Amino acid sequence: MKKTKTKQSGFSLLELLLVVAVGAILLLAGLAVYRNVTNNTNANEAARLLNIIKQETQRLYQGEGQYGTGSLNAVLRNAEVIPASALNDNQVRHPYNGTVGINGDDDTFTVLFNNIPQSACMSLGTAYSINDPDFEGLTIQGQNADRDGDGEISIAELNTQCARGSGVPDMIWTFF
């Protein structure tokens, strides 16, 4: 009697490993894209929050001549000009979950963003320039971001300032 070989169908172990490897590579690529999109979204949301705070503070104090001295957070919260998405337990927070402080200093006011990641520091640092008539200056980690004093904050200056020290930088914008 002759033995006949039966043809087996299915995938070999090598084929299965190849499919799993390709799937893992695609998953890792997708995660990298997701992280990049999330970072860009947070940076855009932080810039939007900064702009809303600037405009609404100026609108609220229009005609007053001064912003007073001290914290304006409670005033802006009570006036309901802070977006609800930025409020957490009555604290103003930016998209990176750091606190936001708005302070009057007579004829100017400052907006402080605590704990900004370095990548966001670079993009937020370009949100306002000396060409904006309401913008007075930006400090990062307590240092003037316009290191060379030419009135423009360059990418090189931002790179130096955002990378200074350890941890994540604090950024303070000053407006008229």
Residue 156 located in a structural domain? yes
Is position 5 within any domain?
Answer: no
Distances in whole angstroms, Cα of residue 57 to Cα of each of 14, 17, 76 = 64, 59, 7
CATH code of the domain in which 68 resides? 3.30.1690.10
Structural domain contains residue 154: yes
Helix (H) or strand (E) holding 27: helix 13-60
Query: Which segments within the chain are labelled E, that is strand?
Result: 69-71, 87-88, 91-92, 100-105, 108-113, 135-140, 143-144, 171-175
- Is 102 a domain residue? yes
- Look up the domain containing 57 and give its range: 13-175
91-119 pLDDT per residue, tens: 999 999 899 999 999 999 999 999 888 88
Q: What is the DSSP letter of 72?
A: -
> Under DSSP, is residue 3 helix (H, G, I), strand (E, B) or coil?
coil
CA distance 78 to 74: 6
pLDDT tens, position by position, 116-163: 888 888 888 888 776 788 888 898 988 888 888 777 888 888 888 888
Structural domains counted in the chain: 1
Residue 105 lies in a domain: yes
